[in-house]
A and B are shown apart, each in its own frame.
Chain A
Amino acid sequence: MNPSHIERGPLFFRDRDWHPAAYTPGYKTSMTRAPFRPLVAMGSTLSEETGPAFGHSMIGALDNNLIMNFTGQPAIGERIIMHGRVLDETGRGVPNVLVEIWQANAGGRYRHKKDSYAAPLDPNFGGCGRTLSGPDGAYEFLTVRPGAYPWPNRVNDWRPMHIHISVFGSGFGQRLITQLYFEGDPLIAKCPIVKTIGNDKAIQALVAPLDMNRAIPMDCLAYKFDIVLRGRRQSFFENRKEGM
C-alpha cells in the first residue's frame, strides 16, 4: 500500500456519543457556549483531509523538557516522563505530527495573568512544551506532575491533576485537544469536566497508567498516554464520480 494514498483517504466518521456532548450543565460554562442547533453532517472533503505539516527544524532541543525549558534551572515538583504514541483508529502510528502540552505547576498554579490561585508560581517553570512524533508515532516529554487546583464552577470544585494536550493529524479534520489524567487520582470521579464524557470507557481512555518500565531509577517516574486520532479510509472504492 502506498503510504501517501493512506494519508489522503477520507476521514472516519467521528463518534459523537463517545466524545463529550456540547451542552453539559454540570460544567457551567458549556451552557452558553454550546450550539443549540444540530451540526450539519457530511463526509470529509479535501479541506478536512489535508492539513498543516511541521518540521523538525522548528523544534528546539529543550522544547519537550518542561523541567528545564523556562530558565534553564530545574522546576520544583515530582519529576515524570510522559510518553506514548500518536495512533489513528486503525492502530497505525502517525509520524511527524505536532504534539503540544501545557499545564499548571506542582502546586496547581498556571503561569497566566488570569490565574490568581494562592499557590505560588515556580520561577523556573513556564508550563508548556512541544514535540514531533517519531516515525512510529512515539513522543515523550519530561515534566513535573501538576497539582490539583480549585476552579469557580460549583462552590468546591477541584480539577484533578491534568496535562492539556493539543495534537494535529495529517488532516485538519483530525485536530484534537484533550486532557491527560493520572492513574489513581480520586478527583477524576468528581470532576464536572471529566463527567462531560458520558461513557466510562471513554473516561478511562484519558487516564494515564503509571509505567514503571519507563521510569528512570533514582531520577523520575513515568506515565504512558497513547493518543488516538480519527482513522482514514484506505479503500480504493470511494464514491468519487471521476474515480480514484
Chain B
Amino acid sequence: MQPLEYLKETPSQTAGPYVHIGLTPNTLGNPGIYPEDLGLSPIRDGAKGQLITITGHVQDGAGMIMRDALIESWQADAQGIYPGNDPRGAADPNVTGWARIIADFDSGEWTLSTVKPGRVPFPDGRMMAPHISLWVVARGINLGLQTRIYFEDEDNESCPVLQRIEHRPRVQTLIAKQTAPGQYRFDIVLQGDNETVFFDM
C-alpha cells in the first residue's frame, strides 16, 4: 500500500497565564517593542453598516469570572463579505474583520465595538444568520475554543449552523441579548449550567 503522506497538525498547548506578554504587550504594560498592539479594532472610521458594541465576560465551571482570557473575533462586513481572501469579491476597505479582545485585568469584562456583519452563505448556498466567529484561549484551555456570536434581533431560525444544534435549548447560548439600541451582552460559559456551545468546524 502507498503511504498517505500527510503531515499531522502541530498539537495545541494552552496559551498559559502570560499570553498578554506576546499578544497584547502594550495593553499589559510592556510598551516599547511594538508601536501598538494588533487587532485593537476590526473596523476603521467610515466602515459601512450599523455600529454595535458587544460586552461580556468569560466564566469558568466554578462560576468565577476569568480575568486572564484572550478572545479573537473574525467577521464579515455589513454586506456579508470577508476581508482578504473571500472568493466573492472585495470587502468594505474600512473593515479588517479581525480583533483581539482581552478581559479587563480587574473586572474580567470585555468589549467589542464593530459593525454588525451581513449574512454569509453556508457551503450548500443557504444563508447563515449574521454572526461573529470567536476563538477563546486562556490558562487551562488546552485547545482554543471556537464559538459564534449571533444577535437576538436577527432571523436566526433559518441559519443552517444553528439548525444543526441538536439540543435546542442550547441555541440561546450563542445569541447576544440586546440591552439598548446597538448594545449587546454576550457572556461565555465554559462549563456547567448554560454552557456555551463550542464548535468543531
- Whole-angstrom distance between the alpha carbons of A242 and B10 in the complex? 34
Q: A18-B9, A63-B34 are in contact. List 13 more A-B contacts (CB 8 A).
A: A36-B191, A36-B192, A39-B198, A45-B128, A46-B123, A47-B76, A89-B6, A177-B13, A179-B16, A205-B11, A227-B10, A229-B9, A231-B6
A202–B8 CB distance below 8 A: yes
A residues 29-63 touching B (CB-CB < 8 Å): 29-37, 39-48, 50-54, 58, 60, 63
A-contact 0/1 string along B53-90, CB 8 Å cutoff = 00000001110101000001010100000111111000
Q: Which 5 A-B residue pairings sit nearest by Cβ, starting from the closest?
A: A102-B22, A29-B140, A33-B140, A52-B98, A20-B142
The closest CB in chain A to the CB of B137 belongs to A177
Q: Which listed segment binds A: B24-32, B43-51, B108-116, B177-185?
A: B24-32
- Whole-angstrom distance between the alpha carbons of A190 and B179 in the complex? 48
B-contact 0/1 string along A116-142, CB 8 Å cutoff = 000000000011101000000000000
Question: Does B52 interact with chain A (Cβ within 8 Å)?
Answer: no
B33–A128 CB distance below 8 A: yes
The residue from A13, A110, A177, A227 contacting B18, defined by CB atoms under 8 A apart: A110
Candidate in B135, B141, B145 with the most chain A CB atoms within 10 angstroms: B141
B131–A43 CB distance below 8 A: no
Please give the residue numbers on chain B whose beta carbons come within 8 Å of chain A beta carbons, in ascending order.
5-23, 25, 28-30, 32-35, 38-39, 60-62, 64, 66, 72, 74, 76, 82-87, 96-98, 120-125, 128, 131, 133, 135, 137-146, 148, 161, 164-165, 167, 170, 190-192, 195-201
The residue from B11, B85, B140, B199 contacting A197, defined by CB atoms under 8 A apart: B11
Please give the residue numbers on chain A whose beta carbons come within 8 Å of chain B beta carbons, in ascending order.
4, 7-8, 10-16, 18-22, 24, 27, 29-37, 39-48, 50-54, 58, 60, 63, 69-71, 87-91, 98, 100-102, 110-115, 126-128, 130, 164, 166, 170-173, 175-179, 193-194, 196-197, 201-203, 205-206, 226-231, 238-242
B139 cross-chain contacts in A, Cβ below 8 A: 29, 33
B25–A128 CB distance below 8 A: yes
- Whole-angstrom distance between the alpha carbons of A229 and B84 in the complex? 19
Q: Taking chain A's interface residues, is the majority helix, strand, or loop, or is none over half, making it mixed?
A: loop
| Least Cβ–Cβ distance between A153 and chain B, in angstroms | 11
- Whole-angstrom distance between the alpha carbons of A226 and B8 in the complex? 11
- Whole-angstrom distance between the alpha carbons of A64 and B133 in the complex? 29
Given A22-B143, A44-B201, A172-B74, A33:B61 Cβ within 8 A: yes
| Least Cβ–Cβ distance between B124 and chain A, in angstroms | 5
Given A18-B8, A126-B33, A42:B25 Cβ within 8 A: no
- Whole-angstrom distance between the alpha carbons of A1 and B192 in the complex? 47
A115–B18 CB distance below 8 A: yes
- Whole-angstrom distance between the alpha carbons of A54 and B121 in the complex? 25
| Least Cβ–Cβ distance between B159 and chain A, in angstroms | 11
B138 cross-chain contacts in A, Cβ below 8 A: 33
A228–B7 CB distance below 8 A: yes
> Can you list 16 contacts pairing A with B, beta carbon distance less than 8 Å?
A10-B123, A16-B143, A22-B142, A22-B143, A32-B190, A33-B60, A33-B191, A34-B190, A35-B145, A37-B167, A48-B133, A69-B33, A88-B7, A102-B19, A228-B8, A240-B125
The residue from A35, A44, A88, A115 contacting B198, defined by CB atoms under 8 A apart: A35
B190–A33 CB distance below 8 A: yes
The closest CB in chain A to the CB of B135 belongs to A175
The residue from B8, B17, B23, B76 contacting A166, defined by CB atoms under 8 A apart: B23
The residue from A32, A102, A177 contacting B64, defined by CB atoms under 8 A apart: A32
